[in-house]
Amino acid sequence: MPNSNKQIDFSTVLAAGVHDMKNSLCLLLQSVENLSRELPKDNTVITSNLASLQYEAFRLNTGLMQLLSLYRAEKQKLPVSIDEVYVEDLIDDILATNETYIVNKHMDLEVHQPDELAWYLDGDLINLLLNDILINAMRYSNKKLRLSCFEEDGMLNFTLEDDGPGYPQIMLQAGNTEMTDFDISTGRTGLGLFFARMIAQAHTNNGRCGSIHLENGGSLGGSVFTLKIP
């Protein structure tokens, strides 16, 4: 006789639901992108609202991808596929993803990077990490952002600065907090930071490990996020 009291693996059910929601959201994002190409560009109200819709959809998509990655990391180590990646191609993908929002919101994003710089890393995971950080920076900045990439002391550095109010103290503290110490009752669990640190630390080379760093100030006076990859 079958066991009618068999327990349901809720995490697996949740992961399956998240996967379905992510697929639907990708279709929505595609529709928004197609719509943005059809609508007149001289209507600032429409373009601004469309950019906001796309922005929020990107935030949801990033959150769902983070949840799926955390689920996979719980079942097994976070799958990392290391390959040679040209930094310029990586940054171009991120800029293309956010172009509609940047243009319609009249934001100024400076990019500083060396030519022909290649590094061994997981391009998909780093793309997801940097895109999430850029989305949040765009939300809190006033107008200006600066994305810089450079090699220093054998590490690949990505730095994103903005001219906003800077990270609140709770976020600066969360940059060095373990996931088990996050308090979801505060409304800000730090999931994005935990996910970013998890991706960074999954990149290792010659005994060195990737890391993230948060501070305020920088050249634009707001928040400064730095990712270091060995």
pLDDT digits (tens, 9 = 90+) for 151-191: 999 999 999 999 999 988 877 776 655 544 444 444 344 56
Residue 1 belongs to some domain of the structure: no
Whole-model pTM: value is 0.71
Domain range enclosing 183: 10-229
Alpha carbon distances (Å) from 136 to 31, 145, 218: 23, 11, 17
Which parts of the chain have pLDDT scores under 50? 1-8, 179-189
In the prediction, which pLDDT does 131 show?
87
Instruction: Quote the distance between the C-alpha of residue 196 and its chain's center.
Output: 8
In the prediction, which pLDDT does 71 show?
64
Residue 170 belongs to some domain of the structure: yes
Supply the CATH number for residue 73's domain.
3.30.565.10
Query: Which residues, in sequence order, are CB contacts of 83 under 8 Å at separation 6+?
Result: 120, 121, 122, 123
In the prediction, which pLDDT does 54 show?
73
Residue 171 belongs to some domain of the structure: yes
Name the one residue in this structure whose structure tokens are 């509609």. 100
Residue 33 belongs to some domain of the structure: yes
Supply φ then ψ for residue 82, to 5 degrees.
-85, 130
In the prediction, which pLDDT does 164 show?
92
Residue 21 belongs to some domain of the structure: yes
In the prediction, which pLDDT does 175 show?
60
In the prediction, which pLDDT does 50 show?
74
Angstrom distance (rounded) from CA 171 to CA 190: 7
Residue 200 belongs to some domain of the structure: yes
Residue 4 belongs to some domain of the structure: no
Alpha helices in the chain (DSSP H): 10-38, 44-75, 87-104, 123-140, 169-174, 191-201
In the prediction, which pLDDT does 179 show?
46
Query: Which residues, in sequence order, are CB contacts of 34 under 8 Å at separation 6+?
Result: none
Angstrom distance (rounded) from CA 182 to CA 170: 11
Residue 2 belongs to some domain of the structure: no
Domain count, the chain: 1
